[in-house]
């Protein structure tokens, strides 16, 4: 069935569902920014191309930032991992693990 074949009530219900999904996504993003909720993480593998390109977040005085080497497997937030994977710097090795007890 296409959008043109849906009834007015079905279209309203679909739009309501989409609004609820957007609102939930915005609430999650705000909670992550405020530190109220942890962003899910994923294990990645650093590619040859990514070696020396991704900071570990540590800085050594007079030497600079420490970076990951090829084949290293750090755990990163999903949004960061997806961005780095799109640039070819990492490969996503494992999907986010289910929360214990869930």
Identify whether the C-beta of residue 49 lies closer than 8 Å to the C-beta of residue 89: yes
Tens digits of residue pLDDT in 2-24: 556 778 888 888 888 888 888 87
pTM of the model as a whole: 0.57
Tell me the residue length of the chain.
102
Separation of alpha carbons 16 and 84, rounded Å: 34
Separation of alpha carbons 49 and 33, rounded Å: 30
Separation of alpha carbons 84 and 95, rounded Å: 15
Tens digits of residue pLDDT in 50-88: 999 998 889 889 889 999 999 999 999 888 899 999 999
Identify whether the C-beta of residue 16 lies closer than 8 Å to the C-beta of residue 41: no
């Amino acid at each position: 069935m296409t959008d043109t074949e849906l009834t007015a009530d079905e279209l309203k219900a679909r739009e309501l569902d989409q609004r609820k999904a957007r609102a939930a996504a915005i609430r999650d993003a705000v909670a992550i920014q405020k530190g109220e909720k942890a962003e899910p993480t994923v294990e990645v593998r650093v590619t040859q191309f990514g070696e020396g390109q991704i900071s570990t977040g540590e800085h050594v005085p007079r030497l600079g930032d420490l970076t990951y080497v090829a084949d290293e497997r750090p755990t990163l937030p999903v949004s960061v991992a997806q961005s780095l994977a799109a640039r070819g710097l990492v490969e996503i090795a494992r999907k986010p693990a289910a929360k214990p007890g869930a």
